[in-house]
Structure 1
Amino acid sequence: MRIARPRAAKMFAAVLAIGLIATGCASERDDEESGDDGQPFVFGAPGDPASLDPSLASDGETFRVTRQAFETLLDHEPGGTELVGGLAHTWSSNEAGTEWTFELEEGVTFHDGSELTAEVICQNFDRWYNWSGTYQNTTISYYWQTVFGGFAQNESEETPDPNYVGCSAPEELTAVIEVAEPSANYPGGFSLQAFAIHSPDAIEAYEQDEASGEGENITFPGYSQEAGTVAGSGPFEVTDWNKGNGEVTLTAFDDYWGDTEAGVDELVFRTIPEESARRQALQAGDIQGYDLVAPADVTTLEDEGFQVPVRGVFNLLYLGITQESNPALETLEVRQALAHALDRQNIVDAQLPEGGVVATQFMPDTVAGYSEDVTTYDYDPDLARELLAEAGEEDLTLDFCYPTEVTRPYMPAPADIYELLRADLEEVGVTVNPVPLKWNPDYTETTRDGGCNIYLLGWTGDFNDGFNFLGTWFAGYQKEWGFENEELFDLLSQAETEPDEATRVGLYEQVNEAVMDFLPGVPISSSPPSIAFSADVNPPTVSPLTQENFAEVSFK
């Protein structure tokens, strides 16, 4: 059983964190009149959101926007990874971990005027559980399938069995969610933006506008592509999405129930794909902040008086290998050769901010379950050539996919990282065919469907449990990896359902060791991504989960 701290404790932690971190003073925001004079706060984002409905998304750029308007049952402490209350001020589970009870906050009003009740929580969860047709495609329901399994009526043999059983409301502000099996995804999964709570009136409106298509030709429902229908309970409400100009505008919600009210009247997310263009826009005063600062720009910006706080390390960049895409990649010696061919320290030194490290396994050392006893693969091009020769693959040719028009917290310059890795592979005799693909939707869909021999991807943790990293990739067969390893799958399944935390952490260590022996891909690095703000603003507390709350922003 786990019981949350009450909201008072949550707010004390928030105030303490803001007071300790040099990113603005909470008392200034509370006690002094804002100096914005109606000026919007404009933030430069690396990419467009995919949807204004976070339920349909799996990408960080969507969640950056929707997190300001939609709230979840649970949340994370400002600047950290510890779970605290969100729309629920306390929560608990039965001993088996199959029944989760949430005591909801009073007086929560949605943007359309409707009220939060336990019945509304159930309406949201039952909506996701009863999705059909296009909604069962992982492009739309990735997080639901990852955390709660399948649906009331699965329409594909590849869809997992549902773990969600149902939701009940024994009291007006008490919601009980039942699952079939315990999982390491709970309670952390209840903090995911994909499970943010929508107003009951909005949900009814959503039903009039369906998603369509299948495979790579999916069309999101119209309500999710323009402002006016979606309604959450957050400190901002979405008022406009000018997709042609890559701008989403949010306006402060006057009836916000919480303690952290919006510090600016208007918040704008402006898409600027290139980091250099984002930097120039900040320097010119066109925007007041942007994400994923290039390591080479940090000192320059700081010298010019800009604020450049650094997030904690909670991510991983890796070289993915799709074994089914090329018979040679099913040979362990070939995968080992690829690992020994890559000068990963060069990537860290040349491309990542200070504090970046070479990864030895598929999670950063900030997550419990990190093992000190994994097999490691040092940079050794001579050994790589020997392994390729032993495997009879001296003339190996591989399609190498990498994303364009994007920067990610774990991958600040995809094309540059690709070029360095390509040179390493060609040095040991591998012929590399470059396959550049636009990030959204081409790259994510192609890699997920197993359409690349090797590719660059990564992960920023959603919550602090080892399964959120290991389970994301290795809980069962996935096309992007293209392998069957029942021993590994079973070990991870055992870890997922282990109720004792210490035992579960020990199992994660075993999984890390088994993964690095099997070597389905090559972990490259973990790094602390930077975020920049102008000197005239009080910025939000930066989050290792990249879950900044822009309601904390104000003009000095």
Structure 2
Amino acid sequence: MVSISSGCIEEAKEKERTEVVILGTTDKIVSLDPAKAYDYLSVNVINNVFEGLVGYEVGSSNIVPLLAESWEVKDNGMTYLFKLRKGVKFHDGSEFNAEVMEKSIKRAMELKGDPSFLLDVIDEVKAVDEYTLEIKLKYPFSPFLSVLAFSVASAVSPSYGEEFTDEAIGTGPYKLEKWTRDVELVLVRNEEYWGEKARTKRFVIRFYQDSSQLRLAIERGEIDIAYRELKPLDIIDLKEKKGDLIVLEGDSPVIRYLVFNVKKEPFNDPSIRKAISLAINRKEIAEKIFFGTVKPLYSMVPEGMWSHSEVFPERDLKRSSEILRSLGYSEEKPLEITLWYTPTHYGPTEADVAQMIKQQLEETGLIKVNLESVEWATYTDYMRKGTMGFFLLGWYPDYLDPDDYLWPFLQSDASPSLGSFYSNERMDELLLEARKAESREEREKIYKEVQELLAQEVPYIPLWQGRQYVVLRRGVRGVVLEPTQIFRYYIVEKGAVG
């Protein structure tokens, strides 16, 4: 008979406990195909399972090699030549090489998923030899390497075909083991990863219906990390408490805004869009709903980023009413509009935000607002189809450059993916000039003009800029709140609590 000491049993249990990290969220995954995914959580999971040619250095916006070991920029910024890493395998055992990378990028471009417009600058991509890839651009574009760091440019298994798939077969530090939609996703360490192995054997994401359930789960110890979204008051409360929970806080380039579908009446009239914009009180939203955990925003370019210019005015209810009356609206004949929002994707405050915007607009006495809501999957479908005329949305950066806060929103071919369908020939000219400009000073001057035109045309209304918050159980290490908003699961680990 073999005797096993209680100490050995406890040691085994502790080892098992520390080999799994569980993150709880109220967010949802839409797709795990890099060619299709264009929402925060989908992209974030992809960043831990897939890789592209380049990525971001941990904790910074500096570009570093991933599947490319090195690169050379030629022809005055028109050609990029990448030397690829050898000996890399996909999770299904297939080999990574230049032919596969060529196919992956072309697939993303041809499938025309939501993020495909980011690759529109590419003119040609081809494998020069087994481990050399050449990408030719349509014009010089200084943030191009940052674009390649976004998930749409990830290498996918050669088994991927001409349709979208959620198989999630990449080369990254984690492999997809199981995914039960809206219930649980399990990642397991890729033991054959070419680089530094993931620090935790399994990383689990559990999905919660609301922030109350999420807070209860972190307080009970059912999860190790709570991320997106707890209520602002929960964050404040947990920061003040002492115990086993730690609240991390960091700057964020995340912005929230209102979208007008400019092809849909009555929002096809710039004067109506301007009147609505003038009735919005950003400070009231930031203080009464978010208790100062966000800050008002007066441009689509976030504060702290070069070229940021506060072009949208503060609330002016008198001017808003004057515009509406000049258009024939009155107390007896108000402007009747519908404001759409999605109730859970952006956290528990979204309904409150929609209600406050309704209240602010109706304070003109000349606007009547109906509220409508649908869940995220339907919301994004409505957005692409142009169903909604006026709705709330948020933006997490694809790459840290003003171009990423302006081109996708305002360029004629890109704006339909965000539901505004905005098109302006002069705006397109300015955006292209900025991309081609050689110096940052020249680009900044152009972007100032772009933002001024944005404020005149008002296809969007910037509302606020967020901050990042994550709640950890004591003993969890390696969580970095990045300027890129990437959450790197593979550097997170859990040790004994001392």
1:112-123 correspondence to structure 2 within 5 Å: 112-123=92-103
Checking the alignment, whether the CA contact within 8 Å between 2:232 and 2:293 is kept in structure 1 is no
Where 2:50 maps in the other structure, the secondary structure is coil
Q: 1:248 aligns with which of 178, 185, 193?
A: 185
| Distance (Å, rounded) in 1 between the aligned partners of 2:360 and 2:277 | 10
Number of aligned residue pairs: give it.
Answer: 472
| Distance (Å, rounded) in 2 between the aligned partners of 1:433 and 1:53 | 35
The answer on 1:49 being equivalent to 2:29 is yes
Instruction: Report the Cα offset of residue 551 of structure 1.
Output: 1.0
Where 2:82 maps in the other structure, the secondary structure is strand
Residue type of the alignment partner of 2:400? N
Aligned residue number for residue 460 of structure 1: 396
| Distance (Å, rounded) in 1 between the aligned partners of 2:291 and 2:79 | 43
Checking the alignment, whether the CA contact within 8 Å between 1:45 and 1:271 is kept in structure 2 is yes
Segment drifting more, 424-433 vs 286-295: 286-295
The answer on 1:234 being equivalent to 2:172 is yes
Q: 2:79 aligns with which of 96, 99, 105?
A: 99
Checking the alignment, whether the CA contact within 8 Å between 1:273 and 1:407 is kept in structure 2 is no
Residue type of the alignment partner of 1:42? I
Percent identity of the aligned residues? 24
Aligned residue number for residue 357 of structure 1: 295
Aligned residue number for residue 467 of structure 2: 528
The answer on 1:388 being equivalent to 2:327 is no
Change (3 A) 1:298 1:483: closer
Where 1:96 maps in the other structure, the secondary structure is helix
Change (3 A) 1:449 1:426: same
Residue type of the alignment partner of 1:423? Q
Change (3 A) 1:147 1:397: same
> Any unmatched runs of 5+ in structure 1?
1-33, 150-161, 212-219
TM (normalized to structure 1)?
Answer: 0.80
| Distance (Å, rounded) in 2 between the aligned partners of 1:62 and 1:517 | 34
The answer on 1:165 being equivalent to 2:101 is no
Change (3 A) 1:122 1:330: closer
| Distance (Å, rounded) in 1 between the aligned partners of 2:269 and 2:208 | 42
| Distance (Å, rounded) in 2 between the aligned partners of 1:445 and 1:181 | 32
Checking the alignment, whether the CA contact within 8 Å between 1:148 and 1:164 is kept in structure 2 is no
1:423-467 Cα shifts (integer Å, max 9, x gaps): 101111211111111111x11121233222211112111211111
| Distance (Å, rounded) in 1 between the aligned partners of 2:379 and 2:31 | 17
1:360-379 correspondence to structure 2 within 5 Å: 360-371=298-309, 374=311, 376-379=312-315
| Distance (Å, rounded) in 2 between the aligned partners of 1:112 and 1:324 | 46
| Distance (Å, rounded) in 2 between the aligned partners of 1:36 and 1:413 | 37
Aligned residue number for residue 419 of structure 1: 355
Where 1:89 maps in the other structure, the secondary structure is strand
Residue type of the alignment partner of 1:300? D
| Distance (Å, rounded) in 2 between the aligned partners of 1:195 and 1:58 | 12
The answer on 1:510 being equivalent to 2:449 is yes
Residue type of the alignment partner of 2:295? V
1:106-145 correspondence to structure 2 within 5 Å: 106-129=86-109, 131=110, 135-136=111-112, 141-144=113-116
Checking the alignment, whether the CA contact within 8 Å between 1:166 and 1:178 is kept in structure 2 is yes
1:424-463 correspondence to structure 2 within 5 Å: 424-429=360-365, 430-440=367-377, 442-463=378-399
Instruction: Report the Cα offset of residue 554 of structure 1.
Output: 0.9
1:167-199 Cα shifts (integer Å, max 9, x gaps): 2234x4332222233335512110011221123
1:456-491 Cα shifts (integer Å, max 9, x gaps): 112111211111110011011644224442112221
Q: 1:271 aligns with which of 179, 189, 207?
A: 207
Change (3 A) 1:230 1:319: closer
1:20-54 Cα shifts (integer Å, max 9, x gaps): xxxxxxxxxxxxxx955465211112233222322
TM (normalized to structure 2)?
Answer: 0.89
Residue type of the alignment partner of 1:370? H
Checking the alignment, whether the CA contact within 8 Å between 1:242 and 1:248 is kept in structure 2 is yes
Change (3 A) 1:163 1:262: closer
Checking the alignment, whether the CA contact within 8 Å between 1:353 and 1:528 is kept in structure 2 is no
Segment drifting more, 318-327 vs 397-406: 318-327
1:216-261 Cα shifts (integer Å, max 9, x gaps): xxxx54xx2xxxx542111111111123x621111111122213x2
Instruction: Report the Cα offset of residue 350 of structure 1.
Output: 2.5
Change (3 A) 1:95 1:311: farther
Where 1:502 maps in the other structure, the secondary structure is helix
Instruction: Report the Cα offset of residue 421 of structure 1.
Output: 0.5
| Distance (Å, rounded) in 2 between the aligned partners of 1:232 and 1:446 | 30
Checking the alignment, whether the CA contact within 8 Å between 2:412 and 2:422 is kept in structure 1 is no
| Distance (Å, rounded) in 2 between the aligned partners of 1:530 and 1:546 | 11
Checking the alignment, whether the CA contact within 8 Å between 1:41 and 1:268 is kept in structure 2 is yes
Aligned residue number for residue 488 of structure 2: 549
| Distance (Å, rounded) in 2 between the aligned partners of 1:454 and 1:475 | 19
